[in-house]
A and B are shown apart, each in its own frame.
Chain A
Amino acid sequence: SQKIEQNSEALNIQEGKTATLTCNYTNYSPAYLQWYRQDPGRGPVFLLLIRENEKEKRKERLKVTFDTTLKQSLFHITASQPADSATYLCALDGAGSYQLTFGKGTKLSVIP
């Protein structure tokens, strides 16, 4: 069966360090993968989209990699700040249908 796994439910990191979050998937051939941020009591907010033929994408302090051989995406936040504390969700489009399946998310806490 199809599965999306985000490496941990919670991740604590010191301010200024790089946070790395992992998303692994099985039995998918995604056309693209997306990362979202969700704050408590709010809807998810889109951060980055990476396509199957792209290895890496960057946006300001954010970097996403996508390895279709390993079936894994890594999401990095460099120079992390307490304001980066949130839950980060990985989402896959299974067949280019503009229909996303989400992982459970990783709750990131950046400690001052």
Chain B
Amino acid sequence: QQQVKQSPQSLIVQKGGISIINCAYENTAFDYFPWYQQFPGKGPALLIAIRPDVSEKKEGRFTISFNKSAKQFSLHIMDSQPGDSATYFCAASRGGGSARQLTFGSGTQLTVLP
């Protein structure tokens, strides 16, 4: 019930290509779906987040697509750049306020080739 399943585990994309990472969840009580980016030696940093009342959110080259009925959401990175090479985690939480308890996916290691 608390799991968030993420795929693929690793992804290699050419510079300028589109990177797509998928996540699926089971708990319908989740109401907040963030994506975090983590570089080696650093903590995760929030990239973009979405709530289930919208189907898509775009910020620059990053877009979240959300399918509530399928309980799936995905991250699209357009015009991927070598600087985007990092590990990406999807997550989900419920409860509101500051008592957020994130359930993370297993992570996707993205490599963008120059």
Q: Do A and B come from one complex?
A: no
